[in-house]
Amino acid sequence: MLHEKLKVIGLTGGSGAGKGEVSLCFLSHGIKSLDTDKVSRYVCEPGKPCLAELAEEFGSQIIKPDGTLDRRGLAHLVFNEPDEKLRADKLAALNRITHRHIIAEINDWLKARAEAGDTLAVIDAPQLFESGFDKHCDYIIGVIAEYEVRIRRIVSRDNISHESAEKRLSAQKSDDFFIKNCDFIVYNDGGLEALEGQVDVILEKLNYEG
């Protein structure tokens, strides 16, 4: 626990599970969330130390001519590696480099939320466990969805092939992992009303009054 009066909810789950939709449900109760995907883009902007470290690890080909990170190229380099061990090593290197910078930004944001008098804050973090930030959360919510639903969401959102989406999911944790390691599970296979109902139940259990 980093801030005495602020309770931190870690919101996690695999790609395509729909964590952003769950964050919006919390926002409807006045509970702010931090999207670590957006933070990861921020720390990789030109001139940031994280970008230089990634280029040193993966090569200058991951930098576009305009100096920005070729995120799709980097993802292809990592997730489309045919050798399973090398793919795992590349993913570990990517996480090792980015997580340190992302966690620093998270801590700054949480400090601001505590100073603003918030009592609950949500960290939307696909890599919550991998980064070790789960240890700093008071509660952890796992979002899961049917495999094919996730595939469709990823293909539509990221404009990638079905095969590439499958490879991405194969490198991520299973639903069973989240069920075993999270305090609460939200099932995101239905509509917004079903999501809101599940979030309401969680907030009741946390005695949140807004």
Given this model, what pLDDT does residue 190 score? Answer: 78
Complete domains list, the chain, with CATH: 7-205 (3.40.50.300)
Q: What is the DSSP string of 54-79?
A: HHHHH-GGGB-TTS-B-HHHHHHHHH
Distance CA 93, CA 74 (A): 12
Model pTM greater than 0.85? no
Copy the structure tokens of residue 64: 């576009």
Given this model, what pLDDT does residue 162 score? Answer: 93
Write the burial class of residue 2 (CB in 10 Å: 0-12 exposed, 13-18 middle, 19+ buried): middle
Report residue 1's pLDDT band, with 50, 70 and 90 as the boundaries.
Answer: very low
